[in-house]
Chains A and B, each alone.
Chain A
Amino acid sequence: MPVLAYRDALRAAMREEMRRDPNVFLMGEEVGFYNGAFKVSRGMLDEFGQKRVIDTPITEAAFTGIGIGAAMVGLRPIIEMMTFNFAILALDQIINNAVKVRSMSGGQLSVPIVIRGPGGSALRLAAQHSQSLESLFCHIPGLKVIAPSHPRDAKGLLKSAIRDDNPVICFEAQALYGTTGEVPEGEYTLPIGKAQVRREGADVTLIGWSKMQLLCMKTAEQLSEEGIDAEVIDPCTLRPLDMETLVNSVRKTHRVVIVEEAWPYAGVSAEIADRIYYNALGFLDAPIERVTGEDVPIPYAKNLEAAALPSAAKITAAVKKVMYS
């Protein structure tokens, strides 16, 4: 199986879908002549031309709105946010238009749009450029939110997102773009709303997505040296959640630690914890532990930034807490 970088897998997904469907196009800041701020769209302008790979001014609200309009009349836009920190400017378009049009038009119109780009911290980008904003989008009924952690999933899920008739938010991560992994050759998609068990274990369930998934796996390996057998689950999709996979794991391990890079208050991990309590209370032997970013703007200083983010040590401490050890 070929090994691809995460960014190359995303590009492969977009290329395949643009070749397959002439209505698919890519739009965003620096996606064309500059080949993408993080080189995700490298070479795409050459292949598809300026009509389908469109450089925009720095106007997130405007080009997101244009994308929504294009989707309403039959195109399938992929909107690249240079980072999701800038998507805050487009929240009005996303929340009030992208997800409302279908319901408010009585189903006459639909908005098959994908809004994708990196989120999260990436070493000393400071408070405004290090944010994990998944929970803002997960809060909105009508949005699907995916957060792939591996190149294979990035390709398969992005292809499903492009083919979806509703708005889909795709959270990537700068720190993941260079990571590599096996990606199947040829045509495949992965279903939105399906979690994956990345590591089977008996003692505790670790749940983490995107970059945190890799941290969970690393911690699980460390824990195994201490004789703790952790199961690691990657939700892959944050809305809708695959509760079946999560509950099956809880039934087995009776202990849960959820790892989220974002802030604790009203975070996605809080939602996951609530759904586990509701669906699997009788299987829990300890209160669920959440390991999240600290409840502060992400600091710029290297040591403070590290202290503000989840770490293997914090996850290990949480695991020991739920195991009463």
Chain B
Amino acid sequence: MANRVVMPKLTDTMEEGVLRKWYKKEGEFIESGDPIAEVETDKAIMDLEAFASGVLRKILVVEGTTVPSGKLIAIIAREDEVIDDILAEMSSKTTEKKAGHQEEVAILPQAIETATVVEKGAIWISPLARKMAEEHQIEIANLKGSGPGGRITQKDVEQAIAMRGVMTSARLDRPAGGLHSLPPLGLSMLRKAVVRRMTESKGPVPHFYVVAEIDMEKAIAFKDKMKADGNKLTLTEIFLKATALTLRKFPAYCSSYQGDAVRIAERIDVGFAVGIPDGVITPVITDCDKKSLTALSEEVRDKIHRAAEKKLAPSEYTGAVFSISNLGMYRSVESFSAIITPPESGVLAIGSVIEKPVVRHHAVAIGKTVKMTLSTDHRVADGVLAAQFLLELTEILQNPESLTD
């Protein structure tokens, strides 16, 4: 039987991918597992592997095309197998696209429906569930039905909405003016992902902000000493570890509001934002509270490097409970506030360490301080907790030896 190759959906946030390069040509024989194309997702570039052996009979998408997840991009079949019926049914369902935009060329709009129907049979879903899925932009092909005969019901869609984290209101993440079908030139996949995720956040997530100024004298002395002892270490790792240790004491900040319930994370996985040329990506350090500073340092460097190359796997930049964003290397930034990445509980925006007069032992001295702004999802934590969080963080940074625990 002919096998349909579709644009994969590799992460929850992936809605489309760019087919960057075909490794194989039409007519070439392919083993199951062979990489057949290079695909750019919203945050990474990866290989698309064939899931069936056979001859690559037909390529339906030219290189450089943006393709929605789930759409048919190629057909693998036996050499002598008749695939005209598939092609015919595709073209009969193809509606005329507005000409003139290269990115939409050769896309067959109904392919996903056809593919789904042919491969899995009709999707068995209650009308209410279908309507809800449409309203919340849940891909029903990805849902498992719990009803009789595998029927997708209201409950299943509600769960999918909750799993996705924050409910997006109808079209918040669909920019007006048909941007989705006609992306302006130069808007990369990553940029689009940033646009979508940040809009998803600022719309529904009720942010509030608490600022603290922290004396960094001891923390910097501690870092310098570690470096003098031959360790590679930057303030980023110090902040990550201090944040993770603080999170241990604040379960509310290890939780996320999803649908109608609050879910508490099992592990303290902390993200750190990395600016790369066309956007921002937030690699995640799993079990951040349990890793030593030197291990953190190595992992941070590796992930920054691979983020810049867009070689991070999706699992390496999703799933954080909380993130930090450090703009301290930009000396002019005193403080700023950051937008929470749903479904995380908050984000800590860290400014530059600045030399300024501070009062110590009833006398004015030259101090090194940093301003931190804690953005919190008000549905999981309140102001008092945010203040206590920052106090705990201050305690740790002012007693940096606790970071080596």
| Chain A residues packing against B (C-beta within 8 Å) | 254, 281-286, 324
Question: Are the CB atoms of A285 and B148 closer together than 8 Å?
Answer: no
Q: Kindly provide the distance from the CB of B157 to the nearest chain A CB, expressed in whole angstroms.
A: 9
Cβ contact of B153, chosen from A281, A282, A283, A285, cutoff 8 A: A285
Known: A285-B153, A286-B153. A324 touches B146 (CB 8 A): yes
Cα A286 to Cα B152 with chains together (Å): 10
CB neighbors of A among B118-146 (8 A): 126-131, 146
Cα A243 to Cα B56 with chains together (Å): 56
Tell me, yes or no, whether B154 is within 8 Å of chain A by CB: yes
Question: Are the CB atoms of B147 and A324 closer together than 8 Å?
Answer: yes
Question: Are the CB atoms of B155 and A281 closer together than 8 Å?
Answer: no
Write out the residue numbers on chain A whose beta carbons fall within 8 Å of the beta carbon of B154. Answer: 254, 285
Question: Are the CB atoms of A283 and B155 closer together than 8 Å?
Answer: no
Cα A282 to Cα B129 with chains together (Å): 8
Question: Are the CB atoms of B146 and A285 closer together than 8 Å?
Answer: no
Cβ contact of A324, chosen from B127, B128, B131, B153, cutoff 8 A: B153
Known: A254-B154, A324-B153, A324-B155. A283 touches B147 (CB 8 A): no
Cα A286 to Cα B153 with chains together (Å): 8
- Where chain A touches its partner, the secondary structure class is loop
Write out the residue numbers on chain B whose beta carbons fall within 8 Å of the beta carbon of A285. Answer: 126-129, 153-154
Write out the residue numbers on chain A whose beta carbons fall within 8 Å of the beta carbon of B127. Answer: 281-285
CB neighbors of A among B370-400 (8 A): none
* Most A CB within 10 A of own CB, among B128, B153, B155: B128
Cα A284 to Cα B129 with chains together (Å): 8
Question: Are the CB atoms of A283 and B128 closer together than 8 Å?
Answer: yes
CB-nearest residue of chain B relative to A286? Answer: B126
Besides A254-B154, A284-B126, A286-B147, 7 more A-B contacts (Cβ < 8 Å) are A254-B128, A282-B127, A282-B131, A285-B126, A285-B153, A324-B153, A324-B155
Cα A283 to Cα B126 with chains together (Å): 9
* Most B CB within 10 A of own CB, among A282, A285, A324: A285
Please name 15 pairs of A and B residues whose Cβ atoms are closer than 8 Å in the assembled complex, sorted by A.
A254-B154, A281-B127, A282-B127, A282-B128, A282-B131, A283-B127, A283-B131, A284-B126, A284-B127, A284-B128, A285-B154, A286-B126, A324-B146, A324-B147, A324-B148
Cα A68 to Cα B146 with chains together (Å): 57
| Chain B residues packing against A (C-beta within 8 Å) | 126-131, 146-148, 153-155
Cα A145 to Cα B203 with chains together (Å): 52
CB-nearest residue of chain A relative to B148? Answer: A324
Write out the residue numbers on chain B whose beta carbons fall within 8 Å of the beta carbon of A281. Answer: 127
Q: Kindly provide the distance from the CB of A278 to the nearest chain B CB, expressed in whole angstroms.
A: 12
Q: Kindly provide the distance from the CB of A238 to the nearest chain B CB, expressed in whole angstroms.
A: 26
Cα A284 to Cα B128 with chains together (Å): 5
Write out the residue numbers on chain A whose beta carbons fall within 8 Å of the beta carbon of B128. Answer: 254, 282-285
Q: Kindly provide the distance from the CB of B50 to the nearest chain A CB, expressed in whole angstroms.
A: 38
Cα A279 to Cα B147 with chains together (Å): 23
Q: Kindly provide the distance from the CB of B102 to the nearest chain A CB, expressed in whole angstroms.
A: 37
CB-nearest residue of chain A relative to B129? Answer: A285
Cα A286 to Cα B148 with chains together (Å): 10
Write out the residue numbers on chain A whose beta carbons fall within 8 Å of the beta carbon of B129. Answer: 285
Write out the residue numbers on chain B whose beta carbons fall within 8 Å of the beta carbon of A283. Answer: 127-128, 131
Cα A264 to Cα B128 with chains together (Å): 26
Cα A284 to Cα B126 with chains together (Å): 7
Q: Kindly provide the distance from the CB of B96 to the nearest chain A CB, expressed in whole angstroms.
A: 29
CB-nearest residue of chain B relative to A251? Answer: B128
Write out the residue numbers on chain A whose beta carbons fall within 8 Å of the beta carbon of B147. Answer: 286, 324
Closest 8 CB pairs of A and B: A285-B128, A285-B154, A282-B131, A285-B126, A281-B127, A282-B127, A324-B147, A254-B128
Write out the residue numbers on chain A whose beta carbons fall within 8 Å of the beta carbon of B131. Answer: 282-283
Q: Kindly provide the distance from the CB of B160 to the nearest chain A CB, expressed in whole angstroms.
A: 15
Cα A191 to Cα B131 with chains together (Å): 35
Write out the residue numbers on chain B whose beta carbons fall within 8 Å of the beta carbon of A324. Answer: 146-148, 153, 155
Write out the residue numbers on chain A whose beta carbons fall within 8 Å of the beta carbon of B148. Answer: 324
Q: Kindly provide the distance from the CB of A229 to the nearest chain B CB, expressed in whole angstroms.
A: 15
Q: Kindly provide the distance from the CB of B126 to the nearest chain A CB, expressed in whole angstroms.
A: 5
Cα A285 to Cα B126 with chains together (Å): 5
Write out the residue numbers on chain A whose beta carbons fall within 8 Å of the beta carbon of B130. Answer: 282
Q: Kindly provide the distance from the CB of B151 to the nearest chain A CB, expressed in whole angstroms.
A: 8
Write out the residue numbers on chain A whose beta carbons fall within 8 Å of the beta carbon of B146. Answer: 324
Q: Kindly provide the distance from the CB of B38 to the nearest chain A CB, expressed in whole angstroms.
A: 41
Q: Kindly provide the distance from the CB of B179 to the nearest chain A CB, expressed in whole angstroms.
A: 28
Cα A324 to Cα B127 with chains together (Å): 15
Cα A284 to Cα B125 with chains together (Å): 11
Q: Kindly provide the distance from the CB of A120 to the nearest chain B CB, expressed in whole angstroms.
A: 33
Cα A281 to Cα B128 with chains together (Å): 7
Q: Kindly provide the distance from the CB of B148 to the nearest chain A CB, expressed in whole angstroms.
A: 7
Write out the residue numbers on chain B whose beta carbons fall within 8 Å of the beta carbon of A284. Answer: 126-128
Q: Kindly provide the distance from the CB of B201 to the nearest chain A CB, expressed in whole angstroms.
A: 30
Cα A254 to Cα B148 with chains together (Å): 17
Cα A146 to Cα B128 with chains together (Å): 32
Q: Kindly provide the distance from the CB of B315 to the nearest chain A CB, expressed in whole angstroms.
A: 33
Cα A284 to Cα B154 with chains together (Å): 9
Q: Kindly provide the distance from the CB of A319 to the nearest chain B CB, expressed in whole angstroms.
A: 15
CB-nearest residue of chain A relative to B146? Answer: A324
Write out the residue numbers on chain A whose beta carbons fall within 8 Å of the beta carbon of B155. Answer: 324
Cα A285 to Cα B158 with chains together (Å): 12
Cα A282 to Cα B125 with chains together (Å): 11
Cα A254 to Cα B126 with chains together (Å): 10
Cα A183 to Cα B45 with chains together (Å): 76
Q: Kindly provide the distance from the CB of A128 to the nearest chain B CB, expressed in whole angstroms.
A: 39
Cα A284 to Cα B131 with chains together (Å): 10
Q: Kindly provide the distance from the CB of B135 to the nearest chain A CB, expressed in whole angstroms.
A: 10
Q: Kindly provide the distance from the CB of A283 to the nearest chain B CB, expressed in whole angstroms.
A: 6
CB-nearest residue of chain A relative to B131? Answer: A282
Cα A191 to Cα B364 with chains together (Å): 86
Cα A280 to Cα B37 with chains together (Å): 45
Write out the residue numbers on chain A whose beta carbons fall within 8 Å of the beta carbon of B153. Answer: 285-286, 324
CB-nearest residue of chain B relative to A321? Answer: B148
Cα A282 to Cα B155 with chains together (Å): 15
Cα A285 to Cα B131 with chains together (Å): 10
CB-nearest residue of chain B relative to A277? Answer: B127
Cα A283 to Cα B148 with chains together (Å): 18
CB-nearest residue of chain A relative to B157? Answer: A285
Q: Kindly provide the distance from the CB of B161 to the nearest chain A CB, expressed in whole angstroms.
A: 15
* Most A CB within 10 A of own CB, among B126, B130, B154: B126
Q: Kindly provide the distance from the CB of B132 to the nearest chain A CB, expressed in whole angstroms.
A: 9
Cα A254 to Cα B127 with chains together (Å): 10
Cα A284 to Cα B132 with chains together (Å): 11
